[in-house]
Structure 1
Amino acid sequence: MKKIAFQGRRGAYSESAAYHLFGNDIEVVPMDTFEQIFQGIETGVVDGGAIPIENSTAGSIYDNYDLLYKWRHPIVAEVKLQIEHTLCALPGTKLEDLTEVLSHPQGLAQCSRFFGQHPNIKSTAFYDTAGSAEEIAKRGDKHIGAIASAYAAKFYGLDILKQGLENLPGVNFTRFYAIQKTAIELPDFKANETVKPPIKTTLLLMLSDSSKSGALYEALGCFAKRKLNLTRIESRPHPDRPWEYIFHLSFEGNPKDPNVVEALKELQQYTDFIYRLGSFREGTTEKLSY
């Protein structure tokens, strides 16, 4: 049975993502930090990990972009998980009793409208959504609540005071990546074959002369001229070279496709380095499950 790590405590959204990404026949391993997931994969303590990479309302999880560059563990799958936040507290607590609510910074950001409507309730950042539910259960203070999943509330014996707490109920999604030590084998490319869901490829790259006018335009042109669809580009500061940037670039394309091979070959003219983080099927959209 594979051991799959996720950041947080039991009941975390990442735990649900781990089952969607790796299947139900796994042993989930909660970890305190994202870096511990990468370290665990590197040392063989775990076989893989489920990490959030971006949220549809709160944006990118930059820590994981930086850790992907640092550790270079292959991305082998993705899933887009619909996030449903609940406000939970100790049994018998009422909404008007609360003076403070704990949650992960992303959870707080995704529920900012609630705090605007309740200025008397203080939002306090905690390291994890499910961990905040666990903390409330431990403290035994009816003046403090947590923002977490309904499963976490049930797991830690809390009452749900309000459901659908997110700013945009029904349209709040987080994309998760599955990472492991080795890449997956991809099917051979066949011309004119429609593959659904399409294969996505994610690259790390650094421009050879980022100060040159049009440098990024020239690099991205390698994909545009071959009609390869870019799905995301994110820049992160280079850890050792001030004012230079690492680009995370994702596009639809099988690396065995001659068009992709040609695009990457041309891209080398404009970059100091290119590293393929992974190629995998585009992820489906799923609901929370445990």
Structure 2
Amino acid sequence: MAISYSGLAAFHAVAQAESFTGAARARNVSQPTLSAQVRGLEDAYGVRLFDRIGRQVKLTPLGQSLFVITARLFTAEDEAQSLLAGTRTLMRGHLRVAADSARHVMAALARIRERYPGLTFSLTIGNSSQVVEQVMNYAADVAITARQSSDPRLHTVKLRADRLVAFAPAAHPISRHDAVPIEAFAGQDLVLRERGSITREVFEQRLSEAGIKPANLLEVQTREAVREAVAAGFGIGVIFDNEFQPDDGLHRLVVTGADFSVGEYAACREERRRIPLVRTFIEVVQGLFGEEHP
């Protein structure tokens, strides 16, 4: 049985948009037409690709496996179309971005939009592990992450090096210093991101290597929550140096006695690196980081 191309394309659009309505709008077809194409694919093979809950759709395990395949299929189609058309104008398109911080990503998207106003974007913020996973699962086209990967399926470009610093309330005894040795964290309460965060991973690893045991650990989900918890007196926080915002109530601390340097990377699937929109994003973000650190 020959598989229906229109059915695959409809399935892929819905899986990508996570919505029949959004997929129909993106493909410029009616929602009933799109639904019929997906249902036809399911009926032809006697399978269920989506769980439909009201207006929401969720991929079944089989649907997730098929989405990985269709992502490769339609990525190859996009590359072939770009190659044959010789397009460099980027008049239209949608770029899905994942990042572990919005700061530099927003600047890159703003610059791309200025050059190519016909493009649209979506941005997902998560920890470093989640960001890499989204690219690997085709849920995002490109990513900015502090997590380096040796996976050959992932194309990464180092943008810059940063380092972790600690910060504490100005009234905290440790804030009498501008720099403290790693041993100063023994018995201290800490505020750190959730597991999967490169900030937490590196800091905990350095504490372990030095044989340092903190007291209590408050785990939170975002950088903003780390800052709020530290300001509220729950403990000492850790953050990338470039992300620390001066505040009269908070004191920045350089930590000595261990290597707290961390890289920042742009990443995409290896087979997608030559797609014009993906390539343009990586080039733009490289240029922005280069302007900051000539």
Give your verdict on TM over 0.5: no
Structure with the bigger percentage of strand: 1
Higher RCO by CA contacts (8 Å cutoff, separation 6 or greater): 1
Query: Normalising by structure 2, what TM-score?
Result: 0.39
Larger radius of gyration: 2
